[in-house]
């Protein structure tokens, strides 16, 4: 009992804490953990919300709204955009929107509603940026080489964001 309580449990708790911290950042996020939310339809509200609750910036989520006529999901956040470093915010938005497009087949746009602004990212523009149909990125190796590796350097992030953003 002493071994379990004194060594095993604290070690497991530390590993879990480290994993949860990694899930807050696009460069360390475990994409395989969200592939179970793959769905053909953006109208599956439960699936969409669970997906976004497991992506970076989930701790600031403040609800969702679906616009089926334009195949747009609006994701609301309880923060202003200036509360984060601009490059990190752009990295998160590109990562999260591409994850949504990859895993939700008919999603056309993701609108991020912050307290101070609305930013819309577009599937067609994301496909142009990735250079392929996004469904192919469901494989973790493809995801890492096409998405994650293109979001390492700040210049890459800004280029990706400016290419994928539809309205700012």
The b/e string for 68-86 (b: 16+ C-beta within 10 A; e otherwise) is eeebbbbbbbeeebeebee
Q: Which residue has the higher pLDDT, 94 or 15?
A: 94
Q: What is the pLDDT of residue 3?
A: 63
State the pLDDT confidence band at 10, using cuts at 50, 70 and 90.
low
Percent of the chain with pLDDT over 90: 83
State the pLDDT confidence band at 22, using cuts at 50, 70 and 90.
confident
d(C-alpha 33, C-alpha 133), whole Å: 21
Q: Are the C-beta atoms of 96 and 52 separated by less than 8 Å?
A: yes
């Amino acid at each position: 009992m002493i071994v379990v309580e004194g060594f095993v449990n604290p070690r497991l708790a530390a590993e879990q804490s480290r994993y949860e911290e990694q899930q807050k950042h696009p460069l360390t996020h475990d994409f395989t953990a969200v592939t179970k939310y793959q769905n053909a339809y953006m109208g599956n509200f439960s699936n969409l919300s669970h997906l976004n609750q497991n992506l970076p910036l989930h701790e600031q989520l403040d609800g969702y709204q679906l616009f089926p006529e334009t195949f747009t999901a609006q994701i609301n956040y309880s923060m202003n955009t200036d509360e984060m470093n601009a490059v990190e915010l752009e990295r998160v938005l590109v990562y999260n929107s591409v994850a949504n497009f990859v895993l939700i087949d008919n999603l056309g746009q993701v609108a991020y509603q912050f307290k101070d602004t609305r930013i819309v990212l577009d599937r067609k523009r994301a496909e142009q940026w990735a250079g392929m149909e996004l469904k192919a990125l469901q494989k973790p190796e493809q995801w890492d080489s096409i998405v994650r590796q293109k979001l390492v350097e700040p210049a890459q992030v800004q280029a990706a964001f400016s290419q994928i953003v539809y309205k700012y």
